[in-house]
Amino acid sequence: MGLEMANAVLKNGDKVVATSRNIGELTKRISLKSESFLPLQVDITNDTEVKKAIQTAVDTFGKIDVIVNNAGYYLVGSFEEIGDQEFRKTVDVNVFGTVNIIRNVMPFLRKQQSGHIINISSNMGYVGYANAGSYNASKFAVIGLTEALAQETKQFNVKVTVIAPGMFRTSFMSDSTLASAQNKIDVYGVEAHLKMLKSFDGQQPGDPKKIANILIGITQLENPPLHLPLGSDSYQSILEQRKTEAEELELWKHLSLSTNFDYL
In tens, the pLDDT along 218-253 reads: 999 999 999 999 988 999 999 999 999 999 999 999
**What is the pLDDT at residue 50?**
97
| Domain residue limits, the chain | 2-232
Active site residue 188: no
Q: Rounded to an integer, what distance in angstroms lies between the CA atom of residue 249 and that of residue 253?
A: 6
- pTM (2 d.p.): 0.91
Whether the CB-CB separation of 134 and 82 falls below 8 Å is answered with yes
pLDDT tens digits, residue range 158-199? Answer: 999 999 998 766 666 555 567 788 888 988 878 887 777 776
Residue 138 CB: number of other CB atoms within 10 A?
27
Beta bridge partners, 132, equal 77
**Identified catalytic residue from 135, 188, 235, 263:** 135
Residue 52 CB: number of other CB atoms within 10 A?
14
pLDDT tens digits, residue range 41-79? Answer: 999 999 999 999 999 999 999 999 999 999 888 899 999
> 2-232 sits in which CATH class?
alpha beta
